[in-house]
Amino acid sequence: MKATIIHESRNRMRIRLRQSSMTLAQADLLESWLKSRPWTKEATVHERTCCMIIAYQGDRKTVLSDIGDLTWARAEEAVGVPDHSTRELDRVFQEKLVGKVAIKLGAALFLPIPLRIARVACHALPFIHKGLCCLRKRRIKVELLDAISIGISMGRRDFGTAGTVMFLLEIGELLEDWTKKRSVADLAERLSLHVDRVWLKTEDDEVLTPIAQIRPGDRIVVRAGGIIPMDGVVTEGEATINQASLTGESVPVEKRCGGAVYAGTVVEEGECTLEVRQISGQGRYDQIVEMIQRSEQLKSAAEAKASDLADRLVPYTFAGSLLSLALTRNVSRALSVLMVDFSCALKLAMPLAVLSAMREAGSKHITVKGGRFLESVAKADTIVFDKTGTLTHACPRVALVIPFGGKEEGEMLRLAACLEEHFPHSIANAVVEEAIHRGLSHEERHTRVEYLVAHGIASSVDGEQVRIGSAHFIFEDEGAVIPEDEQRRFDSIPKEYSRLYMAIDGVLSAVICISDPLREEARDVLTALKEAGIEKTVMLTGDNPHIAEVIAEDLGVDEFQAGILPKDKAEYVAALRREGHTVIMVGDGINDSPALSEADAGIAISDGAAIAREVADITIAADSLWELVWLRQLAKDLMARIQSNYRFVIGFNGALIGLGVTGILSPATSAMLHNLSTLGVSLHSMSGLSVEKKDLKPQKNNKT
């Protein structure tokens, strides 16, 4: 790609492509490609000037070499063309805004008075039509107030005021429409899937393949706990699919050959091979936008209160205008009251504040699915943590592999990794990483892998039945036995480790000991949450009581429960809610999903199981638990902003009505100030809450 560096400073360049123009699609494609590069810190593309601004890290020559070798075809192959972009939305808004201002100025400067009057009369017809529709339906709404004020102004031959009012109303409507659509689009992008690789089924094997290389007609395999990355049709296997995020169905749906499956849904049980019908990004985005626009999850109690109040205040505004006319006999004062309504600001500012907070959370790699959950986080008095992969380190390590029955240690680890690599969980990842570290290749040797929630994995390898999982699963459910004369060796396994048991044909073959150190920041985070108003902290785990007690004492949690199953976790959370607590549940595994669903706000760790992320109301990044403290402060600041907006809208618009009744403000001035205040409070609602300034996330300095 031919380009010229037009400005450069330390680790930052402004580069102009040597082409006369750039389409919106090319700009989106180039920006996506730049952001996918490992050396990119920030990247912005300006399609009007054919320029890109890059902040990079690492070697300058590598950056220039990559850009020089780039072609549009290579970029499309690497990242794909984004199907939706705010760039087009912004361009349409800019053109509409400039067009309306240009027409208004042109008419005022160049049209003679008779033509200006005719233009205002024609312009008024849609407003009056909307008002008549309200009358026909016997509803007193904002459209009726606008129509009456415009009609009376024209009846008084005050065409200048009527034209100004209509111009301000259209500009306000355009700005409202843009701010809402932009906020929804930004949020939808944050909620879109970000799946990097999938298991592509070939004639001979399954190959882990970058998702950008998948095309319609390809077949991919998804197993229990995995997220379906693309729309498609099942061609092999059977699975139960959790579709709650798209359809609202609370019960998983069984899918067989020929059944349609959708991107973003999760396989709860079984496994399936699906034929891709739509490539990544083509179906999921629109579904998310529709979910955002329709879902009641976006409405917190504060939003619902503001929306309800806005509807109830419109008749009072109309009545106030009539009262003003009756008392003062002054039409201008009555019109000044009509120019002001509470509905626009109340109905727009509150949702925008929520959408803005959700977008700000997304910029910190925190996905929030609705304003209701932010309100729950702000009000919560109890937080419940899963232990493994949540309070403990995100990357546990294999400490020991103890073989039994004459088995060889490396072979047992190889076999365990072969099975565990299909199920993304912190313990499974630890087994796979240890096999890689020891240089053990673990090619597919099993015929079928079946995941049993909260128990383990069942498979067949070389004609032998292999089971790997918890002690309950191996010894109680499967009836496995310890080899003769090895009971003492089994009893001597260190108690400070979590254990993964593997049995072959009903005989214990290996115990994999997992070192699962606490997150360095965990204790300080719990303290900070207490300082932020959380009254009770709880740890739940399926581990044995000895391990749980040591960790609970180290963390300083108020209460802990050990050796419990997923249904027990969910029941514990439900019991807390029945007692009147507002509960946050934090977890990362498939077995945490019931409890995440039961909580007022379920928070999943981003590198945990896909079903946990899908069921959860909020997802945080895995790098630090300080994000919980940041999220708590963001939620509290959001609730404060909503209350502040509420007071401002009522106070300012009430003052405008008072000034209009006394004759201090003209109708046009009232309309202008009302629209400017609506725009102002909306833009304020879209601004960041600046939580980062409060230094809530000292990841480097807060260690136990």
- Summarize the confidence of residues 79-85 as an average pLDDT: 64
pLDDT above 60 for 248: no
- State whether 483 and 552 are in the same domain: no
pLDDT above 80 for 671: no
Residue in this structure with the two tokens 């109680």, named with its chain if needed: 476
Q: Are 271 and 449 in contact (CB under 8 A)?
A: yes
- State whether 313 and 184 are in the same domain: yes
Domain final residue, candidates 58, 82, 106: 82
- State whether 511 and 425 are in the same domain: yes
Please give the Cα distance from 566 to 314 (Å, whole number).
50
Q: Are 386 and 569 in contact (CB under 8 A)?
A: yes
Q: What is the dihedral of CA 520, 521, 523, 524, to 10 degrees?
A: 140
Residue percentage of the chain with pLDDT more than 90: 22
Residue 193, pLDDT score: 54
Please give the Cα distance from 23 to 134 (Å, whole number).
43
Domain assignment of residue 697, yes or no: no
Q: Are 240 and 267 in contact (CB under 8 A)?
A: yes
Residue 295, pLDDT score: 44
| Per-residue model confidence as pLDDT tens digits over 501-510 | 999 999 999 9
- Summarize the confidence of residues 476-499 as an average pLDDT: 88
| Per-residue model confidence as pLDDT tens digits over 46-63 | 988 999 999 999 889 999
- State whether 421 and 303 are in the same domain: no
- State whether 180 and 314 are in the same domain: yes
Domain assignment of residue 700, yes or no: no
- Mean pLDDT lowest for which of 25-34, 80-89, 380-389? 80-89
Domain assignment of residue 401, yes or no: yes
Residue 345, pLDDT score: 66
Domain final residue, candidates 592, 620, 648: 620
- State whether 495 and 529 are in the same domain: no
- State whether 216 and 266 are in the same domain: yes
- Summarize the confidence of residues 603-616 as an average pLDDT: 69
Domain of residue 479, CATH code: 3.40.1110.10
Domain of residue 269, CATH code: 2.70.150.10
Residue 64, pLDDT score: 92
- Name the phi and psi angles at 258, rounded to 5: 95, -10
- Name the phi and psi angles at 514, rounded to 5: -110, 120
- State whether 315 and 336 are in the same domain: yes
- Summarize the confidence of residues 343-359 as an average pLDDT: 73
How many domains does the chain fold into? 5
Please give the Cα distance from 393 to 399 (Å, whole number).
14
Closest CA to 608 of 387, 419, 390, 431: 390
- State whether 212 and 239 are in the same domain: yes
Which pLDDT band, with edges at 50, 70 and 90, does 613 fall under?
Answer: low
pLDDT winner (highest mean) among 87-96, 115-124, 342-351: 115-124
Please count the other Cβ atoms lying within 10 Å of the Cβ belonging to residue 441. Answer: 9
Domain of residue 389, CATH code: 3.40.50.1000
Residue 290, pLDDT score: 55
User: For all residues of the chain together, what is the average pLDDT?
Assistant: 80
Q: Are 281 and 83 in contact (CB under 8 A)?
A: yes
Please give the Cα distance from 120 to 155 (Å, whole number).
12
| Per-residue model confidence as pLDDT tens digits over 301-318 | 565 666 566 666 667 777
Domain assignment of residue 422, yes or no: yes
Please give the Cα distance from 8 to 12 (Å, whole number).
6
- Summarize the confidence of residues 629-646 as an average pLDDT: 88
pTM for this model (two decimals): 0.60
- State whether 499 and 407 are in the same domain: yes
Residue 447, pLDDT score: 61
Domain final residue, candidates 82, 106, 131: 82
Amino acid (one-letter) located at 122: C
Residue 538, pLDDT score: 94
Domain assignment of residue 364, yes or no: no
Domain that holds residue 304: 91-188+298-353+637-691
Closest CA to 588 of 383, 386, 367: 386
- Name the phi and psi angles at 607, rounded to 5: -95, 15
pLDDT above 90 for 663: no
| Per-residue model confidence as pLDDT tens digits over 103-112 | 888 888 888 9
Q: Are 55 and 11 in contact (CB under 8 A)?
A: yes
- State whether 559 and 590 are in the same domain: yes
Instruction: Please give the structure tokens belonging to residue 261.
Output: 């499956």
Domain assignment of residue 630, yes or no: no
Residue percentage of the chain with pLDDT more than 70: 81
pLDDT above 80 for 133: yes
In the chain the first and final C-alpha atoms are separated, in Å, by 51
- Summarize the confidence of residues 346-375 as an average pLDDT: 77
- State whether 401 and 389 are in the same domain: no
Q: Residue 605 to residues 222, 593, 620: CA-CA distances in angstroms?
A: 21, 12, 5
Please give the Cα distance from 30 to 17 (Å, whole number).
11
| Per-residue model confidence as pLDDT tens digits over 370-405 | 778 888 999 999 999 988 778 876 567 899 999 999
- Summarize the confidence of residues 271-281 as an average pLDDT: 76
CA angle, 114 as apex, 110 and 116 as ends, to 5°? 50
Please give the Cα distance from 42 to 57 (Å, whole number).
10
Q: Which helix (H) or strand (E) holds 269?
A: strand 266-276
Residue in this structure with the two tokens 């169905």, named with its chain if needed: 249
pLDDT above 80 for 628: yes
Residue 234, pLDDT score: 93
Q: Are 153 and 335 in contact (CB under 8 A)?
A: yes
Q: How many residues does the chain have?
A: 704
DSSP string computed for 50-78? TEEEEEE-S-HHHHHHHHHH--HHHHHHH
Domain assignment of residue 576, yes or no: yes
Domain assignment of residue 704, yes or no: no
Please give the Cα distance from 249 to 614 (Å, whole number).
13
Please give the Cα distance from 468 to 412 (Å, whole number).
11
